[in-house]
Every structure is written in C-alpha cells, then in structure tokens.
Amino acid sequence: MARYPESRSALLPLLHLVQAEDGYLTPAGISFCAGQLSLSPAEVTAVATFYSMYRRTPTGEYLVGVCTNTLCAVMGGDAILEVLGEHLDLHAGQTTADGKVTLEHLECNAACDYAPVIMVNWEFFDNQTPASARNLVDDLRSGAPVAATRGGSPCSFRDTSRILAGFVDQRPGANDGPTAGDATLAGLRVANELGMTAPDPDESHSTAAGPDDEKMTEQAVRDQPAPGPQADLPPTNGAHS
C-alpha cells in the first residue's frame, strides 16, 4: 500500500495476494482488502468481477486456459478445448479431482501469430494441437518437467499470483525469455523487403483534391449520425394515418 500515493490503488495487487494465499478470491479475502483500503466489500467485489485474471472459485495448481477467439478458433482452438474437456472429463471452469488442473475458456491472449495458444498460469504454449495439449495436461498432472514456449516453466497458480502481486520472481531464468519470434516479426520483415515506410506525421498534406480526399469525404459521411424519422415514412404496426 505504501507504494502508491492513494492506498486504494493497491487493490489490484492485494487481490492477487489474496489469490496467492487462498487460491481464489474468498469472501474473507474480499473483506480483508476492503478493511485494509477503507473500501466497502461491494467496491472490492466490483473490481474483482471486472478483471478476468481474478478467480472467484477454487482453482487448481495449474490454470490451463484455451483461447478460442477468431484466429485461434480457425487454427484449432475449439477442437483443443473440446478434446481437453473430454480427456479431463470436465467442462471449462471445473477442476480435476486431484486438484491439479483447472480448465478455462479464455478470450484473446494477444498471441494470434502463434495460434492456437494455450496458457498455463499465464505462461505461453504456442502452436498447440489436440495431441500436444493432451500431453501437456498429462505432464502437469504427473509432475513431469514442462517448459513454456516463451518464458520459464510454469510455477503453481498461487506462486504466480504472488508474482503478479508484485513480489520478485525467484525462478532461475524466469525473466530470460526469448525476444519476439519469427512469426511476430514476419510483417516487419516483408515491409522492409518491399521498402515500405510509415507516413511522416509532420509532412504537410496537399490541398489539391484527389482520390484520398474523396475517400475521406465518404468516411466523413459514414461517420455522421443516422437521420431521424421523416414525416413521409409509412406507418408502422399496421397503423393508418
């Protein structure tokens, strides 16, 4: 709390700290945060329910999230989620009986260049297939070593929450992940090969009309609010004037 000019700004890391202790946001944890920051439990709950990284139900040692947004879905994310549900005999949001894996249906992870993507306690596992996903959760449950594609080996969900609360990540090499990979830089590489550059924002624009001006005019028209009802519109709902 002392890190922030206003103590209430510590709410987000405090919520992560609660997860580090309890495994999810318990009612006692909500009350603790409210008492520490002079907030009401309702105010804390409003924040906790807004952000998807805060869990409101007990969570396993490994939170396995499968992205099924557009690109991941096209590349097989839906199939991966379905296969994992059958393999683990549960639905998204549930936890295996041994407490090892909680399966989560995630929204976009901003890793479309490596789709389909799975995250384990927020560590990336890129270019997954149904078979590799099954092997991944089996290794997590058996305790076999697992290495993320970018970043370190996943630690437990509670340890991850402690790191997100602001404590130093003590794992060897945890912060030595690779830089942007080839797929991420593909667009930049093509732009360089074609000699493409971004327009100079300080460059003055010509006042002469041209195709671009026509496009801008069309865009300006499209951005106008829709017209209101007109008097000559036909009556609705079978009414007659």
Residue 220: per-residue pLDDT: 63
- Count of domains observed in the chain: 2
Cis peptide, bond prior to residue 41, ω within 30 of zero: no
- Pair 53, 70 in one domain: no
Residue 135: per-residue pLDDT: 97
Buried b (16+ CB within 10 A) or exposed e, 57-69: eebbbbbbbbbbb
| Last residue of one domain, picked from the residues 110, 130, 155 | 155
Identify whether the C-beta of residue 133 lies closer than 8 Å to the C-beta of residue 118: yes
- Pair 41, 104 in one domain: no
Specify which residues 69 forms β-bridges with.
Answer: none
Residue 150: per-residue pLDDT: 82
DSSP 70-99: HHHHHHTHHHHHHHHHHHHT--TT-B-TTS
Q: Is residue 191 part of a domain?
A: no
The string of pLDDT tens digits covering residues 5-53 is: 999 999 999 999 999 999 999 999 999 999 999 999 999 999 999 998 9
Specify which residues 106 forms β-bridges with.
Answer: 67
- Pair 122, 151 in one domain: yes
Identify whether the C-beta of residue 104 lies closer than 8 Å to the C-beta of residue 65: yes
Q: Give the pLDDT band (50/70/90) at residue 75.
A: very high
Q: What is the pTM of this model?
A: 0.76
CATH number at residue 147: 3.40.30.10
- To 10 degrees, the CA torsion angle through 222, 228, 230, 236? 110
- Pair 109, 166 in one domain: no
The string of pLDDT tens digits covering residues 176-208 is: 766 677 888 888 899 999 999 888 888 755 544
| Last residue of one domain, picked from the residues 140, 172, 204 | 172
Instruction: List the domain range (segments joined by +) for residue 46.
Output: 1-57+157-172
Instruction: Please give the residue that has the higher pLDDT: either 233 or 98.
Output: 98
- Pair 70, 150 in one domain: yes
